[in-house]
Structure 1
Amino acid sequence: MIRLFRHYVPLPLLMLALVEASVFFWSIPLGKFARSWSEGWLFSVDGLFGKAFVFMLVMVSIMTAMGLYERNFWDGKADMMLRVAVGFLLGLFTITLIYYFFPDLYLGRGEFGIAFAVSFLLVALARYGFFHLSDYDMLKRRVLLLGCGRRARQIEQLSNGREGKGFKIIGFVRLNESDEVAVDADRLLPVRGTLRDLAEAQQIDEIVVAMEDRRRGFPVDQILDCKISGFEITDLSTFFERETGKIQLDSLHPSAMIFSDGFHQAALKTVSKRLIDVVSSLLLLGLTWPIMLVAALAIWIESGRRGPIFYRQTRVGRHDRVFEVIKFRSMRTDAEKDGVAQWAQKNDSRVTRVGAFIRKTRIDELPQLFNVLRGEMSFVGPRPERPQFVAELSQSIPYYSMRHRVNPGITGWAQICYPYGASEEDAREKLQYDLYYIKNYSVFLDLMVLLQTAHVILWGKGAR
C-alpha cells in the first residue's frame, strides 16, 4: 500500500494506472508516426504532446469511473474486460465531443484510429497480465501475526477474501500458553530465539500486533528490536484501515483516535470542499436539467396528474442540525401512512414503476443538488439519515454520532464501497467507511469518490 493525500492506494493498482496512463499518452505519438510512415514520413510533433496529455487524462478518468482502479474490482476477467470495453466506448464519445468543441486538439481519423486501437490492445494485455500476476505469492507482502485469538482470526478471514489480495499470512505467534487459539493451529510458529530471528528466517515484511490484551505479556523489547532492525510494525486497527478502506469499530479505542494523524478540519480544506461542491452542483445541474424535466413529467403523469413530484423528508445534517432533503418522489404517497419510519427494502412494494427506474439510475437523487447549493449537504459525505433512525443507531452503535461532524453527501465513500443499507448491521458497516472518509478526507479522495460513483450508477449497485 502507498498513501496518496492520506488515502491508501494499493501499490499494484497504482503501478497499473501508471502503466495504462503511459500507454494512453504514447499511443498518440505512435499513431501519428504510423500514419506518417504510410504517407511518406511527413511527421510533425507540433502540439502533439498536449493532445496526448488530453487523451491520457480523459481515458484514465473514465477508467477510474468504471471502477477499474478500485481495490475490490475482482469480479472475474469477463467483468473486467466488459468494463474496459465500455470505458473505451465512453472515451471515444468523450474525445469526439472534445474535438468538436476544441478543434485545435483534433487528430486525423487515421492517426486517432491507430492510437485508439493500439491503446485498447495494450491495455487489455496489461489487464490480463495484472489479473494473473496479482495471485502470485512472491508479489504479496509477507505478514507475521502476533496473537492467535479472535482478533488474529479476523485478519485470517480477511486474507481469504478479495481484500486479502495484497498480503500473505506466513504464520501466527502465540505469546502466552494460556492464550486461546482461534486460528488454524497448524500455522502457529514457534519462537526459537528472538522474534527478530523468526522474522528474518521467514523473510517477513510486516509484523501485525493482534493480541487480545496488550497488558499481558506484551514483548516490548523484542518488538522494538524488530522495529529498529527495519521490520514494519503495525497495529490491528491501522492494518484493517489500510487493507479495507474502513475503520474497524471492534478494534477502535478513544486513545487510538486521539493520537491518530487524521480528523483534520483545516480552513483551506473547508473552503476547497465548498468550492468543489458549488462547481460540481452547477455543472451537473447544467448537464442533467433535461433528464430532471423528463423525470418530473413521468412522475406527474403516473400519479394521474395529482400527486406531488418532489418528496421532502427530514434528515440529520452537520452538528445534528435537521434539514429537509429534496428528492424526486419514487414511492406511493401513502408509503408511510402510519407515520412510522421504515427502511427501504429490496423489491419494495411501495416503489412506483417510474420510481423503480429513477432509484435504479439515481435520478431521484438529483434534486439534492439544491441542498448542496444551500450548504445543507456536500457533494461527497456520509449519507444523511432520518432523526428516528439516528436516535436508535446512536444508542446501539458506538461512535455513530461522529458521522455528523461533516456535511452529509449525495454520494460518499460508504455508498461506493457498500450496498444500500437497510438494517442496523448495514448501518454499522457503513459507519466504518464513513469514519475512514472523515479521518482521511482530502480533495483527492473526494475526486476519487465522484469518479467512482459513475460505475456504481452504471452497474446499478446498491439501488433499491
Structure 2
Amino acid sequence: MSRRIARLKYLVASFLFAALFFIQSLTLTWTPRFAFQALILNVAIMLGIYAFRGFDNLTTYSLNSCIVSYISGTVLGVLFALIPIVFFTPRLPRLTFFVTAAVSGLIFPFLSCVLMRYTIKHLPPRRYLVIGREEELGPILEEVKKASMGKIEIYSYMNPSVATLTEAISFEDVKPFDAILIGDPKLARSVEDPLGQGEANGYTIEYLPIVVESSLKRIPLELIDIFRDYYDVAFTDIHISQKKRVFDLILSAIGLTITSPLLLFLSVAIPIESGWPLVFKQKRIGLHMKPFTFKKFRSLTNVSEEDLNKLEDPNETIGGRVTKIGKFIRKTRLDEIPQFFNVFQGNMSIIGPRPEMENYHNKALKSIPYYSYRYRLKPGITGWAQINYPHTSTMEDYKRKTEYDLYYIKNQSFRLDLEITLKTIETMLGMRGSK
C-alpha cells in the first residue's frame, strides 16, 4: 500500500512539474536558454515543496498545512534558482517568475490536496492474513494501520497448522484477503508447503520487516527480536561507500562557502559577548565506537565538558547559561558549522546518527538493545533520527530515536540523503523544531 501511495506522490509531482512548463509557455517564447532556465526554476520549486513536506499524506489532509508547505517551498525554490539563473543572458522575464511562483504557491496547494485526497480515499485497502500471534504483533501492526491511513487492514492472525492454513487459502470465488504477511518466521517454516500453494492460488507472500519499514520509516527494536537472523545479516553488510565520502566533501565545501560570512561574524561576536573559547570541544563516540574530538560553536557560558558530562539529558541547556547569540545559533543549528571540519578530518559525515557523549553512550549501550548497530556508520551533522524525532529527554525517547537511526543505516541511499538534506534546510529556516 505504501508503494501505491509513493507512486501517487510521484504522479502528482510529475503532473505539477509539467503544469509549470505549460503555464510558463503562456508568458514567453521558448528558446534553448529559456527552456534550461525554466527547468532549473521548476526543479528547484519541486524540491522546495518536497523539502517542506508538500507531498506528505498528512500534509494534504490539512489545507492550511498544504498552503504553508507550498508557499514556503516555492519561495525557497525561487531563491535557490536565482543563484544560477542570474548568470544567464537573456534571463527569464520577471513576469514568468511571478506567474510561476503565484501558480505554484497559491493554486497548486488546492490541486494537490484534491488529487491526493480523492485518490487515497478511493484506493482499496490491502488486507493481510498474518502468520503470527496477535499479542506479539498487534501493537506494531496497529501503528502500521494508522500510518497507512487505514489502507492496510488485518484480516486475521494465525498460528497455523498445515491444515488450517490450507483451509484459509482454499477460497475459490471471492478472496477474503489480498496477501499473506509473514509476521513470525519460525511459525512460517512449519507451513512452507501451503504457503507455496497460496502463491500458486494468487496470494502474494510479504514479510513484516518490509511492510513495517516502508510504513513507519523506522525499525522497531521488537521487530529485530522477531527477525533476528534477517537483521543480523542486514547490519553486517553495512559499508561506507566512496560516493558518500565524495558527497560529504562536496557538501562540506559548499556549506563552508555559504556560511563563511556567518562564520566570520560568529568568530567575532561570540568572544565579544561571552569571551573565549570560540569553539567548544568534547569527546564523542564515532565509527566502530572509537572516540573523537567533536567541535561546535560555543553557545553556553561557564560550562565545562565535565559539567555537560554530568547531565542526565545531553540536550539540557543548563538554565540561564545559554548566551543571547547561543539561543539563535542553537535554534538555527548554526552552532554546528565547525563540524564541517570534522567531516573534512574524516571522523564525521554530513548525514548519520548523532554522535553521543561518552557517558550517555555507555548508559544507552547497556539499556537499549541493538544500540551498537548505530555505530556501523560515521556519526553525522544531521540525520534521519534528528529530523523525525528531534527532542530526546528520556531513555524511551532515545530508544525511539535509535529505531530511526537503524532505519537510516540499513536503508541508506543517495535519495534518502537528499531528503534529509532538504528537510534539514527546512529546520534551519525555522519551519520545524530543532534538536
Q: Shorter-chain-normalised TM-score: which range?
A: 0.7 to 0.9
The answer to whether structure 1 residue 231 and structure 2 residue 203 are counterparts is yes
Per-residue CA shift, 1:325-368, capped at 9, x if unaligned?
A: 10111223236548524424567514333222211111111110
Higher RCO (C-alpha 8 Å, min separation 6): 1
SS at match of 2:123: helix
- Pairing partner for 2:13 from 8, 20, 24: 20
Aligned to 2:290: 321
- Cα distance change of structure 1 residues 225 and 176 upon mapping to structure 2, 3 Å threshold: closer
Residue correspondence of structure 1 range 340-419 to structure 2 within 5 A:
340-345=310-315, 348-349=318-319, 350-419=321-390
Greater mean alpha carbon deviation, residues 422-431 or residues 72-81: 72-81
Mapped to 2, the partners of 1:231 and 1:216 lie a distance apart of 15
Give the number of aligned pairs: 429
Q: Does 1:172 align with 2:156?
A: yes
1:101 to 87, 96, 104: 87
Structure 1 residues 219 and 462, CA gap change in structure 2 (3 angstroms): farther
Change in CA separation of 1:168 and 1:108 when aligned onto 2, cut-off 3 Å = same
Q: Distance between the aligned counterparts of 1:245 and 1:175, measured in 2? A: 27
- Tell me which amino acid in the other structure corresponds to 2:88: F
Secondary structure of residue in 1 paired with 2:186: coil
Most deviating of 335-344 and 311-320: 335-344
Residue-by-residue CA offset, 1:176-195 (whole Å, 9 max, x unaligned): 69xxxxxxxxxxxxx79722
How far apart, in 1, do the equivalents of 2:427 and 2:124 lie? 30
Distance in 2 between the 1:271 and 1:249 partners? 29
Q: Which residue in the other structure is 2:192 paired with?
A: 220
Q: Does residue 1:68 correspond to 2:54, yes or no?
A: yes
> 1:143 maps to what in 2?
128
- Show CA shifts across 1:52-95 (max 9, x none): 32222211221222133456657833122111111112223333
Aligned counterpart, 1:209: 182
CA contact (8 A) 2:286 2:355 kept: yes
Identical-residue share of aligned pairs (%): 28
Q: Give the counterpart letter for 1:35 in structure 2.
A: T
Bigger proportion of residues as helix: 2
Q: Deviations over 1:346-403 (max 9, x none)?
A: 6751433322221111111111010001111000111111121112211122221121
Write the distance in 1 (CA, Å) between the matches of 2:209 and 2:126.
Answer: 18
What amino acid is the match of 1:340?
K
124-133 or 213-222, larger mean C-alpha shift: 213-222
Partner of 2:66: 80
Q: Residue 333 and residue 21 in structure 1: after superposition, are their counterparts in 2 closer, same or farther (change >3 A)?
A: farther
Scaled by the length of structure 1, what TM-score is found?
A: 0.82
Residue equivalent to 1:254: 228
| Structure 1 residues 74 and 402, CA gap change in structure 2 (3 angstroms) | farther
The one-letter code of the counterpart of 1:263 is D
Distance in 2 between residues matched to 1:110 and 1:462, nearest whole Å: 35
Cα distance change of structure 1 residues 283 and 220 upon mapping to structure 2, 3 Å threshold: same
Structure 2 stretches of 5 or more lacking a match? none
Please, what is the CA RMSD of the aligned residues?
A: 3.1
Residue deviations 1:239-266 (CA, integer Å, cap 9, x gap): 211211112211214311245598342x
Aligned to 1:308, which of 263, 267, 277? 277
Note if contact 1:63-1:84 (Cα within 8 Å) is conserved in structure 2. yes
Q: Is this contact kept in 2: 1:176–1:217, CA < 8 A?
A: no
What is the CA–CA distance in structure 1 between the aligned matches of 2:37 and 2:118, rounded to whole Å?
A: 32
Between the aligned partners of 1:387 and 1:199, the Cα distance in structure 2 is 61
More deviation, 147-156/241-250: 147-156
**CA distance in structure 1 between the aligned counterparts of 2:270 and 2:78, rounded to whole angstroms:** 34
Cα offsets for 1:425-451 (capped at 9, x unmatched): 122112212222111222222122111
CA distance in 1, matches of 2:133, 2:172: 17
The Cα shift of 1:132 comes to 2.2
2:113 is aligned with what amino acid? Y
Q: Distance in 2 between matches of 1:119 and 1:337?
A: 50
Which of 20, 27, 30 does residue 35 from structure 1 map onto? 27
Q: Decide whether the 8 Å contact of 1:411 with 1:453 is kept in 2.
A: yes
* Length-normalised TM-score, structure 2: 0.87
**Conserved in 1, the CA contact under 8 Å of 2:343 and 2:349?**
yes
- 2:13 maps to a residue whose letter is E
Q: Which amino acid aligns with 2:354?
A: R
Amino acid at match of 2:181: V
- Separation in structure 2 between the aligned mates of residue 44 and residue 362 of structure 1, nearest angstrom: 42
| Alpha-carbon distance change, 82 to 348 in structure 1, aligned in 2, over 3 angstroms | farther
Q: 1:255 to 1:52 in 2, by over 3 A?
A: same
Instruction: Classify 1:117/1:17 alpha carbon distance in 2 versus 1 (closer, same or farther; 3 Å).
Output: farther
1:97 Cα offset (Å): 3.3
The answer as to whether partners of 2:292 and 2:347 remain within 8 angstroms in 1 is yes
Q: Are the counterparts in 2 of residues 25 and 52 from structure 1 also a CA contact under 8 Å?
A: no
Partner of 1:241: 213
Partner Cα distance (2:309, 2:102) in 1: 58
| Residues 346-355 or 385-394, more deviating | 346-355
Checking the alignment, whether the CA contact within 8 Å between 1:208 and 1:235 is kept in structure 2 is: yes
Relative distance call for 1:131 and 1:262 in structure 2 (3 A) is farther
SS of the counterpart of 1:143?
A: strand
